[in-house]
């Protein structure tokens, strides 16, 4: 039963593909940044830019183009625009 629920949730996350989400970047992993949506939505892994173009975006509001539903809880996307730093 749990596997069916996960499959269904993954299918629901696919509706985000092709959309632009505003997220707040909270963490940096090896190949991705981690973003949480400003409005309700799943965690978004954001592909890092090539080494020469990388910016420090942790703590910033970022617009992300969603490219893929990775799982029932995660999306993957790329940076469209980097916005302001969020007050801490």
Task: Give the CATH number, domain containing residue 78.
Answer: 2.40.50.140
Q: Give the C-alpha separation, 17 to 13, whole Å.
A: 8
Residue 18 token pair: 């092709």
Question: Of 35 and 13, which is predicted with more confidence?
Answer: 35
pLDDT at 50: 78
Domain that holds residue 59: 2-85
Say how far residue 6 (Cα) sits from the centre of its chain: 19
Q: Rounded to whole angstroms, how far apart are CA atoms 61 and 15?
A: 22
Q: Tell me which residue has tokens 């997220």.
A: 23
pLDDT of 88: 62
Give the distance, in angstroms, between the CA of residue 26 and the centroid of all CA atoms in the same chain.
Answer: 11
pLDDT tens profile 23-69: 999 999 989 999 999 988 899 999 998 776 777 899 999 999 999 99
Q: In total, how many domains does the chain have?
A: 1
Q: What torsion do the CA atoms of 34, 39, 40, 43 make, to the nearest 10 degrees? A: -10
């Amino acid at each position: 039963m749990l596997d069916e629920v996960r499959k269904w949730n993954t299918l629901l996350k696919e509706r985000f593909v092709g959309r632009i989400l505003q997220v707040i970047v909270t963490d940096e992993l090896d190949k991705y940044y981690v973003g949480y949506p400003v409005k309700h939505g799943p965690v978004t892994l954001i592909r890092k830019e090539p080494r020469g173009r990388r910016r420090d975006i942790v703590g910033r509001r970022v617009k992300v183009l969603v490219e893929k539903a990775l799982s029932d809880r995660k999306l993957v996307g790329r940076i469209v625009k980097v916005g302001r730093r969020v007050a801490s």
